[in-house]
């Protein structure tokens, strides 16, 4: 495949993301466009600057159409050890809820947010495996296990169910 240039490449990348229905890694997009991964990172930033609903997740780039924004969202506060991260995430996604991100409050930097975007057990397992393989730490290690998640679901009832399950396991922090 020949190397694609600027606008043509961004148009093609946008088309690929729109039709994929799932996250696609920068490496996969780079191979598709016959360019470096860094070029893809720059292209994604340019597309985001044009208000294209592209989000960066731990699984890659995801096109998030506006109709998905109809989901209800809630920010929750949780606390647990790193060893319980898998169980916490399984508990949430098993209720039909998506974990959009993790947020920690840092004394110097303020709020630090990282995208997660997991909605089911295989996605959670892939996320945790990636953390383990890279020997990365969960952001919650910065705050002795306390962190927040923005969660989303098609209904408030599912968010309530996830909170109840987290409460039962002692992961939910409440006022």
Query: What residues are designated binding site for Ni(2+)?
Result: 80, 88, 147, 149
Integer Cα distance of 41 and 47 in angstroms: 10
Residue ranges for the binding site? Answer: 80, 88, 147, 149
Q: Which helix (H) or strand (E) holds 161?
A: helix 156-168
Task: Assign 63 to helix, strand or coil.
Answer: strand
Residue 114 Rama label (left phi>0; alpha psi -120 to 50; beta): beta
Q: How many CB atoms lie within 10 A of CB 138?
A: 17
| Spatial separation of the C-alpha atoms in residues 2 and 164, rounded to whole Å | 53
């Amino acid at each position: 495949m020949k190397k694609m240039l600027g606008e043509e490449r961004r148009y093609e990348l946008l088309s690929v993301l729109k039709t994929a229905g799932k996250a696609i890694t920068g490496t996969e997009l780079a191979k598709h466009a016959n360019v470096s991964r860094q070029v893809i990172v720059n292209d994604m930033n340019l597309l985001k600057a044009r208000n294209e609903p592209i989000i960066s997740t731990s699984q890659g780039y995801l096109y998030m159409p506006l109709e998905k924004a109809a989901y209800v969202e809630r920010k929750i506060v949780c606390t647990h050890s790193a060893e319980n991260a898998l169980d916490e995430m399984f508990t949430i996604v098993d209720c039909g809820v998506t974990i959009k991100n993790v947020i920690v409050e840092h004394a110097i930097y303020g709020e630090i947010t990282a995208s997660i975007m997991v909605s089911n057990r295989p996605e959670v397992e892939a996320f945790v495996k990636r953390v383990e393989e890279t020997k990365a730490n969960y952001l919650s290690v910065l705050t002795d296990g306390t962190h927040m998640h923005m969660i989303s679901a098609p209904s408030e009832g599912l968010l309530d169910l996830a909170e109840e399950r987290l409460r039962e396991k002692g992961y939910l922090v409440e006022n």
